Structure 1
Amino acid sequence: MIIINNFIEYKALEGKTIGVSAWHTISQAQIDKFAEATLDYQWIHIDKERAEKEGPFTSTIAHGYLTLSLIPYLWKQIAEVRNVKMEINYGIENFKFGQPVPVNSAVKLEATIKTVTDLRGTVKVVVAARLLIKDQKKPAYSGDVIFLYHFCKE
């Protein structure tokens, strides 16, 4: 894990792949809880028997937005940003889903710092994120995650 204490340390990471998270297995229980939380009960996610018989993947698959929602959890395994008054998940851009994530697949996040900009005291960081699936060449998704940080005065 990398530790970042301020704008200068963040800026020094610009253009670098800073790491990957640990593997996280997406279980059917997690998929079902996500379906309940979002009211997205599409059968390809929650109906094991139907997914095995009728679905193109021979199993249920994680919701795309479930895999996106793992970014904050997995990001915190890659970088610890200290000395922060406030951190804001500002946005996502240019995201493409490359392939579905079958139930019980292990995934991990790979992060590259694209840009670090000081916007008069607010630090805007664009992170290129790729969600890798164990034993697969193609990522589940790739795109840019944007964080805003308000660092404490040093």
Structure 2
Amino acid sequence: MNKLICKNFTEFKTHEGKSLPVGEWLTVTQEMINAFAEATQDFQWVHVDLERIKKESPFKKPIAHGFLSVSLLSKMLMDLIQIESLAMGVNYGLNKVRFPHPVLVDSRLRLHSSIQMIEPYAENGLKITWDCSVEIDSIDKPACVAEFVSLMFEG
């Protein structure tokens, strides 16, 4: 897998405004959907009721929670970058989020992203705004489009 590797924040900051490598494919399984339903207590039938889905859903298959797609952004981004001096990172928030296409069970997703903006944060941190688009294999519309904001701190 291609990965952006930087020694420190100084080197990382030179990538502001640039695209990251395209992510690896990740399959969204029913087990992931069920675990997300358990964690969030969102058991809407379109996600977990297989019999009702077959009868009533226009998709005829379970769909992942939209927030499952957005929650994968942290993992997908960290799979694409490595900063050797990084001590920790935390989610800061989202500026814009849309779910243009549902994610059917067993769909393969991958991340297309760029570093929109890097700002200083606290004494040893950065606030990064990432442009993210989660592609669904063989579907024209993305699963999720988001401006994702995170904090990273050097150790």
TM-score, normalised with respect to structure 2 = 0.91
Measured after TM superposition, the shift of residue 7 of structure 1 is 2.5
Correspondence for 1:141: 144
1:90-112 Cα deviation digits (max 9, x unpaired): 11111111111001100011110
Mean Cα deviation higher: 21-30 or 7-16: 7-16
Answer whether contact 2:22 2:113 (CA < 8 A) is retained: yes
Q: Which runs of 4+ in 1 moved over 6 A?
A: none
Equivalent AA in structure 1 for residue 133 of structure 2 = R
Equivalent AA in structure 1 for residue 57 of structure 2 = G
Aligned pairs for 1:124-135 (under 5 A) are 124-135=127-138
* Structure 2: stretches of 5+ with no match in the other structure: none
- Secondary structure of the residue aligned to 2:79 is helix
Partners of 2:78 and 2:61 in 1: how far apart? 30
Q: How many percent identity over aligned positions?
A: 35
Task: Tell me how many residue pairs correspond in the alignment.
Answer: 152
1:83-133 Cα deviation digits (max 9, x unpaired): 122312111111111111001100011110001112353211111111110
- Secondary structure of the residue aligned to 1:143 is strand
* Structure 1: stretches of 5+ with no match in the other structure: none
Equivalent AA in structure 1 for residue 92 of structure 2 = Y
| Match of residue 52, structure 2, among 50, 69, 78 | 50
Mean Cα deviation higher: 65-74 or 39-48: 65-74
Answer whether contact 1:129 1:144 (CA < 8 A) is retained: yes
Partners of 2:71 and 2:58 in 1: how far apart? 24
Partners of 2:105 and 2:65 in 1: how far apart? 10
Aligned pairs for 1:3-152 (under 5 A) are 3-121=5-123, 122-152=125-155
1:63-84 Cα deviation digits (max 9, x unpaired): 1111111112211221112212
Partners of 1:84 and 1:68 in 2: how far apart? 23
